[in-house]
Amino acid sequence: MAGTRFKAVAREALGNIFREVKIAAKPIPKPKKWVFIVGCYNSGTTLLSELMGRHPDMSALPTEGHFITDQFQKDYDLGIPRMWVDREDIFRLNENDEGPDVVRIKKEWGMRLDLSKPVLVEKSPPNAARTRWLQKHFENAHFIGIVRNGYAVAEGISRKGDPKSIKDGWPMDKSAWQWARSNEVMLDDAKHLNNFHLLRYEDLASSPQQELDNIASFLGLPAFPDVASQNFAIHERNDSVKDMNASSIKKLSAEDIETFNRKAAFMLERLGYDKL
């Protein structure tokens, strides 16, 4: 038994050494633009990243950037999956905060990106809390914020609560507040950003080509290739781009809707969504 444990520890130590050597040898990415997709969990950030990664001038990380670096604390590790607003004191950063090791982050992300592409794309929902910090430390940073109907978002956050941390999912009041506060921080901090483009999940689902071409224009790139007819593996679905709001909202009870309205109606109004 002791020998088995020793071998496991030795393998882990060797793996860590190998990783550090790779990071040290990796060049620091120097793209023409860094692009950060930001928005609340379950708002379409994964779909948007997958779509943008199909542009010939872009390379998108295959998963959320905060999972690839050891410099950002993870919501899952803190026992608050999909709920960073519970520890806003940890996640929120602005240009005056010292923050983590920027060079190491760039190298860690660069190991998973095609550095021959002029535009590098990252998406992590918690980055909605640190756009101002990212702007300071990532050259020519551009931000694409995406918002979605809060009722659908809150239903998804509650349903997808990590069973290791939240056995029965998040209660509706917390899911509603995560949606409202995340968007509030993102929109308020956007006033300090030089390059910020906002779009709706609903518009992306109904007119993907138009919305993507708007993004290409924002980034100073040629139009996207045709994507409307393509399928995408997003979470548990492999499908074309579709608006999933109705199926999510249908799962909410009258009590859920009342709770959501109590916690988040102000953000519905700010974003122009109808109150149920």
User: DSSP labels for 39-76?
Assistant: --TTSSHHHHHHHHTTSTTEEE-SS-HHHH-SSS--TT
180-183 LR contacts (CB < 8 Å, sep 24+): 180/150, 180/263, 180/264, 180/266, 180/267, 181/85, 181/88, 182/39, 182/40, 182/41, 182/84, 182/85, 182/125, 182/128, 182/129, 183/39, 183/40, 183/128, 183/147, 183/267, 183/270, 183/271
* Structure confidence by residue, pLDDT tens digits, 215-226: 999 999 999 998
Task: Return the percentage of the chain with pLDDT > 90, whole number.
Answer: 77
Does 276 map to a domain? no
What sign results for the dihedral spanned by CA atoms 252, 257, 259, 260? positive
pLDDT confidence band for 260 (50 / 70 / 90): very high
Bridge partners (DSSP) listed for residue 144 = 37, 197
pLDDT confidence band for 242 (50 / 70 / 90): confident
Q: What number is the average pLDDT over the span 27-56?
A: 95
pLDDT confidence band for 168 (50 / 70 / 90): confident
Rounded to whole angstroms, the Cα distance separating 29 from 120 reads 9
What is the average pLDDT score of the chain?
Answer: 89
Strand 119-123, strand 196-200: pairing: unpaired
* Structure confidence by residue, pLDDT tens digits, 44-85: 999 999 999 999 999 999 999 999 999 999 998 999 999 999
Does 190 map to a domain? yes
Does 217 map to a domain? yes
Rounded to whole angstroms, the Cα distance separating 260 from 83 reads 15
* Structure confidence by residue, pLDDT tens digits, 179-193: 999 999 999 999 999
Rounded to whole angstroms, the Cα distance separating 62 from 46 reads 10
CATH number of residue 30's parent domain: 3.40.50.300
pLDDT confidence band for 136 (50 / 70 / 90): very high
* Structure confidence by residue, pLDDT tens digits, 196-211: 999 999 999 999 999 9
Does 95 map to a domain? yes
Q: What number is the average pLDDT over the span 115-141?
A: 97
- Domains of the chain: total: 1
Q: What number is the average pLDDT over the span 27-35?
A: 93
User: Residue 90: is its pLDDT beyond 90?
Assistant: yes
Domain span at 164: 2-271
Does 245 map to a domain? yes
User: Which pTM value belongs to this model?
Assistant: 0.88
Looking at residue 215, what is its pLDDT? Answer: 98
User: Residue 8: is its pLDDT beyond 80?
Assistant: no
Does 21 map to a domain? yes
